[in-house]
Amino acid sequence: MHRNRAKDTRNLPSDSKLIKLASNQLVDCAGELFNSTPYLCARLSLEEDKDWNASVLATTAAIKSGESVLANPSFYANDLMCDIHYLEKTKSGSWNAFVVKSSTKISDKSKEKAAFQLHTIQSAGLKINGFFFLTINNKYERGDQLDLKKMFRKRDIFAELNAQLPTLKKTVTELRKTLATEKAPDIEIGEYCVSPYSCEFKSNCWKHVPKDSVFNLRRVSRETKFKWWNNGVKTVAQLQGSKFQAGIALSDSQSEEIIDKPHLLEFLRRVNHPILFLDFEGYLPALPPYKGIRPFQIIPFLFAAYRIDSVGSESTFHSFIGDPAKDSRKEFATQLIELCSEIETILVYDPLTEKQVIQGLMRAFPEMKDDLESILHKIVDLAKPITNKHFYLPAMKGLSSMKRVLPAVAPNTNYKNLEVQSGRAASQLYQILCDENHDRDTARELDNLVEYCKMDVYGLVLVYNAIRAAIDDPVNPAIPS
Ligand code: SF4
């Protein structure tokens, strides 16, 4: 795919390296499952431009010298290249292949990729006897030590992959024909641009897609949207009145503002001073770092809050961020309880995560259960007026996520100047800082994380103010600086 595309048309997501790094850590850890220490044929890289020749040569040399477990071996055969997480030699001299997944399930796409790996390794001359996925067992609860044999599930999909090989070989033939052409194929955009992955060249190929395109509509399948697009119906305006409109609700994308004053007043009556605007950040490690934690259980590490004591009073900012070198959950809970003790209403935007975190803390620290429970009772969901369509601005484009709502109520506010720009990036970054071998400036990165969370919670204040302003209530609390 990269062969005939100019490099400068690529647009890698900013947090992709962070996600890859966390996944590489899991792959490294799976190496401890083998009876002997794996021979490292190549380091897992964060970069796209891997030195394939060097890794193939290292793999060939390792096999010749009789290594029995290979980590990250690479193969080249008939113009095909692949690498794989682990290979283990069996007593008969054939090999078992292993792919590590930081998930509990195996997607069809992962199986397609595995079939390609199997085909390439076999074409390179290795006899493969078994092909295993190592997935995460999310029922496993960590004891004092991590038990990798219980944490990973080993699933043999060799027979299934063999059944896919005839189709795969036909696809490879088609791909060869495409690669032999001088120019990148001139094709229209399609579902393949976004599924199973968002293509790196999308910002280039999708330049001609108008801002009010049919792709903005919610609750319509991707297949349907491409059907409209391919039939010349490219914008919501073109869809209106077209033969395709039947049964499609366009209200989400229409330009009508909704200010339902009676419902908004009812919502605001539930909000009493002192108010706390609150936001948490947590991470979901595949490897449970502490006793009693399961894979992918959310572990809180940061909260940010603005407190407003009375109508018109100044706001005060509060935050807590854990030390990545230790288990900070108890300190997190203690400081949160202290901050919330005098608060009447805690405003959180879509508080599912916050509630999960507090319930997890209640289980981990039963002595704090009552105090934590009282925090749960004070939480009011600030997203409700928006999800219930009691407060809607056209710029929200039918979406209720904070990332869409904030620019709609405060167009000059954005995350562009922040080092950390999404909750997912925040979570991955903290996970990196937890690794004692990381090479980041910890103090600086912790500041970046707090700044991100501060922006999120500042957004809550702006949304709340916008709701009050919409019903002509004096805007309160004062906007924090
Ligand atoms: S964005 Fe779509 S059309 Fe462009 S290269 Fe990617 S898959 Fe092909």
- On average, the pLDDT of the chain sits at 88
pLDDT of residue 396: 85
Long-range pairs of 177-180 with CB within 8 A, sequence gap ≥ 24 = 179/3
Nearest residue (CA) to ligand 1, atom 2:
193
- Spatial separation of the C-alpha atoms in residues 171 and 178, rounded to whole Å: 11
Measured between alpha carbons, how far apart are the two ends of the chain, in Å? 47
Atom of ligand 1 nearest to the CA of 206: 1
Cβ 189 under 6 angstroms from ligand 1: yes
Q: What pLDDT sits at residue 124?
A: 96
- Assess contact for 98 and 155: CB atoms under 8 A: no
C-alpha 184 to ligand 1 mean position (Å): 10
Q: Which residue, chain included where needed, has tokens 């493969």? A: 128
226 lines ligand 1 (CB under 6 A): no
- CATH 3.30.420 domain residues, the chain: 261-470
When pLDDT is cut at 50, 70 and 90, the band that residue 15 belongs to is low
| pLDDT of residue 63 exceeding 70 | yes
CA 198–ligand 1 middle distance (angstroms) = 9
Measure the CA–CA gap between 324 and 157, rounded to whole angstroms. 38
What is the tens place of the pLDDT at every residue in 226-277?
999 998 999 888 887 777 766 555 555 556 788 999 999 999 999 999 999 9
Say how far residue 208 (Cα) sits from the centre of its chain: 27
Work out the pLDDT band at 460, boundaries 50, 70, 90: very high
What does the alpha-carbon distance between residue 449 and residue 171 come to, in Å, rounded to a whole number? 44
Ligand 1, pocket-test mutation among 5, 205, 222, most atoms within 8 A of CB: 205
Choose the residue to mutate in 199, 204, 230 for probing ligand 1, maximizing ligand atoms within 8 Å of C-beta. 199
> Tokens 């997480």 map to which residue?
85
> What's the CA-to-centroid distance between 17 and ligand 1, angstroms?
21
pLDDT tens-digit series, residues 341-371: 999 999 999 999 999 999 999 999 999 999 9
**Cα 189 to ligand 1 centre (Å):** 6
Q: pTM value?
A: 0.71
Pocket test for ligand 1, best of 188, 192, 198 (most atoms within 8 A of CB): 192
pLDDT of residue 3: 45
The tokens for 131 are 């092909």
Contact 370, 333 (CB under 8 A): no
202 lines ligand 1 (CB under 6 A): yes
Q: How many CB atoms lie within 10 A of CB 223?
A: 8
Kindly give the number of the ligand 1 atom that is closest to the alpha carbon of 205. 4
Q: Identify the pLDDT of residue 248.
A: 58
Q: What is the pLDDT of residues 405-457, one digit of tens each?
A: 888 898 888 777 788 888 888 988 898 888 887 888 999 999 999 999 999 99
pLDDT of 381 over the 50 cut: yes
Q: Which CATH number fits domain 261-470: 1.10.3470, 3.30.420, 1.20.1050, 3.40.50?
A: 3.30.420
Look at ligand 1, atom 7, and give the residue with the nearest C-alpha: 193
